[in-house]
Amino acid sequence: MRVLDPQQIDDPSLLASHAPLIAFSRHAASEIANVSTRLQLLQCGEQLFPLSINDGDEAAANSYVVSPLTTYIRYASYELAQIGRPWLSWPLQQLLRGISHWLQQAELDRLVQVNNWLLSTNLYPPDWQGGEIATLTRFLCSQFPRHAIGLRSLNRFSNAQLIDRMLACGYVAIPSRQVYLFDGRAGQQSAFLQRHNTRLDATLLRNAGYRCLPGEQLQQDDYPRLAQLYRQLYLEKYSPLNPQFTADWLYHGQRDGWLQLCALQNSDGRLDGIVGWFANSHILTAPIVGYDTALPQKLGLYRQLTQLCLQRAANEGKLLNFSSGAADFKRRRGGVAEIEYSMLYVRHLPPARQRAWHVLGRLLHGIGIPLMRRLKL
């Protein structure tokens, strides 16, 4: 087990077997405008994982993909403001303000995260069930004695065995959000394809007049437009705390093979929508979704992009982890809610820092999860 600097890897066998990951680790972090982190690689037996390292002194606006303070304070505060229920959001906002300084003092952002692809949803190799999690944890604690050790994007449907092994090793389960899963393993017989809304979306996609342009056919000068479409939805309509992916990041992801893009092109050749998939042999997720929000809503661009995702999951016989947000929309199309967790190991840290993580976990289990389920977030 060892930590590798991706810039210095010259082993031909590693370069051949892990080319997309090594390429990602060499430049991806610098091409996300609001992400500040150091990316290394963790070699663990036959597995190689991206390792993000944060010392806690990065910019306050660091995206949630590397900053727990952004996840649990800044982003949570933003989401509460969108609920539209002052009787509920006001006391919760006060609670966040009350614990914000304390959590900052506890250095929540001093953190090493295993398998962090800097995406909304990380995917874990299906053949990695954490059998060596105790050895991995001891190794990382020896290498980073002042950092918490974390893994994001785990849920019990996809990662039950891994979660249980981490709990047995002393990890703390911190709820993060509610995600929506579409099980496409039955292929064209998958239940979500039979839903009324899904059938309507399939008809819309067929008749809307858009061409689905695969990433291999995109030209380099298309990428600024694609970045703009993502920005219009995820940053301007949702939150600037989402990862601010640049045109270079999209281009390199498609070129290096770890991101698969598809654009909706109208009859005049203009690109009006974009979806980008990140996948392994069992699971598919869509960290990139965007469309021209200035166009009429009746075009149903988000519906069409969603349908592309559902069709791909069924065609490939995979589980689609469709992340969080647009909860009612996803439920109507057969999405099943699952609570997502970050797992944190903090036993090697000073008691005050351990307490902060444990208290945060209890608050989110006691308040966060019931609210997510009750409000169907």
Check residue 275 and give its pLDDT: 98
- State the architecture of 182-336 in CATH terms: 3-Layer(aba) Sandwich (3.40)
Contact at 8 Å (CB) between 372 and 178?
yes
Least confident among 43-47, 80-84, 346-350, 364-368? 80-84
Contact at 8 Å (CB) between 150 and 342?
yes
223 pLDDT higher than 80? yes
Q: Which of 294, 288, 307, 289 is nearest to 208 (CA)?
A: 307
83 pLDDT higher than 90? no
Mean pLDDT of 161-177: 96
**52-91 burial code (b ≥16 CB/10 A, e <16):** bbbbbebeeebbbbbbbbbbbbbbbbebbeeeeeeeebee
Q: What are the structural domain ranges in the chain? A: 2-178+340-375, 182-336
84 pLDDT higher than 80? no
17 pLDDT higher than 80? yes
In three-state secondary structure terms, 2 is: strand
For 232-262, the pLDDT digits (tens) are: 999 999 999 999 999 999 999 999 999 999 9
Contact at 8 Å (CB) between 48 and 14?
yes
For 300-335, the pLDDT digits (tens) are: 999 999 999 999 999 999 999 999 989 999 999 999
Confidence of residue 171 (pLDDT cuts 50, 70, 90): very high
Mean pLDDT of 202-222: 97
